Amino acid sequence: MIRIAIVGDIGSGKSHIAKLFNRPIFNADLEVAKIYKTNKQCFKNLKKKLPKYFSSFPIKKEEIIKAIFDSEKNLKKITKIIHPKIRKKLNIFLKNNKKKEAVILDIPLLLENKLNQKGDIIVFIQSKKTEVTKRLKKRNNFNLALLNKFKKMQLSLSYKKKRSHFIIKNNFSNKSAKTNIREIIKKIL
């Protein structure tokens, strides 16, 4: 099984491009959202570490945002609780798809959390900053200060680009993205 990891800036269209590959996808952001909604133990752990922020189950996105916004230490505490659960879900996903030709890993902090493996094919999604900003502002939970905090946690885009095997210039047109994806698939399979 070939692991194709999608990396890039926040709002560059990674999840959209991941879907266009038409392969099983592990989407870390969706998995985190599910954990917040369904995992009572996770809630108890967060409430124990950060009682000021978490009041009732299920965990609300606003509570997470407030905790992160107040302190980077809070972000580290949240990460310590959430990331092991994501790793476990990733391992289950990989086991369930081991007979597939390829899988897509849509994990925003893949390189930062050393979730990548030696044989992974890394695809960098490059988008114009103006387009990214325009798209991010349309999100109903857009918060520039929070976005900047998240960006500080991440490796630089130039580093991610250097580590990548392929670059897809995302102009947010499916046609050009699909052409790029076909070429990538042809080269690696």
pLDDT value of position 4: 97
Q: Show the tokens assigned to 154.
A: 């991440």
pLDDT value of position 187: 92
CA 160, CA 126: separation in Å to the nearest integer? Answer: 10
Domains of the chain, by residue range, sit at: 1-24+100-189, 28-96
Provide the CATH number for the domain formed by 1-24+100-189 in this structure. 3.40.50.300
Minimal CA–CA distance to 170: which of 125, 129, 124? 125
CA 15, CA 94: separation in Å to the nearest integer? Answer: 18
pLDDT value of position 61: 86
Task: State the 10-residue block means of pLDDT for the chain, 189 residues long.
Answer: 94 92 96 95 96 94 89 90 94 97 93 88 90 79 76 86 93 83 91
CA distances from 126 to 73, 94, 169 (A): 30, 26, 5
What pTM, to 2 d.p., does this model score? 0.90
